[in-house]
Amino acid sequence: MELKDCMNFLLSASQNKVFKYFSKLLEEYGVTPAQYGVLNCLWREGELSPKQIGEMVYLEAPTVSGILDKMQKAELIERSVDPKNRRNVLVMATQKSKDIRDEVEAATIKLNNKVLQNLSDNEKVVLNKALDTIIKSDF
């Protein structure tokens, strides 16, 4: 098989390129692409458990825990004990992260526009649907 026909190569190479560009865009806000995923969930949903965040961003619990630790040190999130169940932790966005939301969301729009600039509207829809299907596949 030609390397250019290997799904792992194509997805990894494109993800690496997008990740590097997105990292540069977010750098001035002190946020990484993974942290943006967490913040996006919190900005939209409010308080969430680490487990809920992991399910939403398709990451394993230890990975989420590491991301949350770094975000808490950077004062982007706060963690508290769930008053309804003291064994659970709730995560919420801080005012600091809420203050950068508009700029970070604008950077995300810039990313999408740059990445998709050479695709037709139909190709954009097909790509989005195909990637979503792969993400949700069981294998």
What does pLDDT average to over the chain? 96
What's the average model confidence in pLDDT over 107-124?
98
Which amino acid, 13? A
Query: In terms of CATH architecture, what is 17-136?
Result: Orthogonal Bundle (1.10)
138 vs 94 pLDDT, higher one: 94
DSSP string, 71-126: HHHTTSEEEEE-TT-TT-EEEEE-HHHHHTHHHHHHHHHHHHHHHHTTS-HHHHHH
Structural domain boundaries of the chain?
17-136
C-alpha span between 15 and 108 (Å, rounded): 15
pLDDT tens digits, 26-50: 999 999 999 999 999 999 999 999 9
Q: How confident is the model at residue 87 (pLDDT cuts 50, 70, 90)?
A: confident
